[in-house]
Amino acid sequence: MAATTTMRSAAYAPARLGMHRALGVAAATAAALAVWAVAVPLLGLHLFVRFGNGAPQSVGVDYVLGASLVASLLGWGLLVVLERRAAHYRAIWTRIAIAALLVSLILPLSAGTTTSTRVALALMHIAAAAVLIPALRRGAAALAPARRDVSR
């Protein structure tokens, strides 16, 4: 009976894992959008970034949605690749994710035109990472025992 239960839970693990990760991506995107919603419509901030000597560009909800969604999906994709190729994929992925967050903070801190813009953009990066990193790590932890049971 225990073997049947283990095999059944192992068979459903990928579907649950995919749903868990998709929800993590959606929640990370929602976290970044929530910071934008507080900063722009509620607080009335105007978020502008300037790259080099170019004209300032407004950071709208479309940019926040697109950037957070693409970055979250890239993180998920990297985790999937590491799961297939590395023994300690969770630790490796977590280090890379934290490093990516730190590197991503360079852009808002250097390209933001005002202090309030810099703070709001940095908070968007931190909010998305604070949701995504634990969600994908937790999902990866749930996969590890199921994989071990299948290999026996």
What's the full length of the chain, in residues? 152
Confidence band of 138 (pLDDT split at 50, 70, 90):
confident
Q: Tokens 């901030």 — which residue?
A: 45
Among the ranges given (32-46, 48-62, 128-142), the one the predictor scored with the smallest mean pLDDT: 128-142
Q: What pLDDT is attached to residue 14? A: 74
- Greater confidence (151 vs 3) lies with 3
Model pLDDT for residues 80-90, shown as the tens digit of each residue: 999 999 999 99
pLDDT for res 12: 52
Helix 61-85 crosses helix 115-151 at what angle (to 10 degrees)? Answer: 30
Quick: pLDDT tens for 5-43: 444 445 557 778 889 999 999 999 999 999 999 999 999
Domain residue ranges of the chain, discontinuous segments joined by +: 2-151
Q: Could you tell me the CA-to-CA distances from 47 to 22, 35, 119 in Å, in that order?
A: 28, 12, 10
Report the pLDDT value the prediction gives residue 56, as an integer from 0 to 100: 94
Cβ neighbours of residue 72 closer than 8 Å, sequence gap 6 or more: 24, 25, 28, 29, 128, 132
Q: Quote the pLDDT of residue 148.
A: 41
The predicted pLDDT at position 141 comes to 67
Residue 3 has pLDDT above 80, yes or no: no
Q: How much is the average pLDDT of 133-141?
A: 84
For residue 133, the surrounding DSSP H or E stretch is helix 115-151
Mean pLDDT of the chain: 87
> Per-residue pLDDT averaged across 120-138, rounded?
96
Average pLDDT over residues 94-118: 95
C-beta separation of 28 from 68 below 8 A:
yes
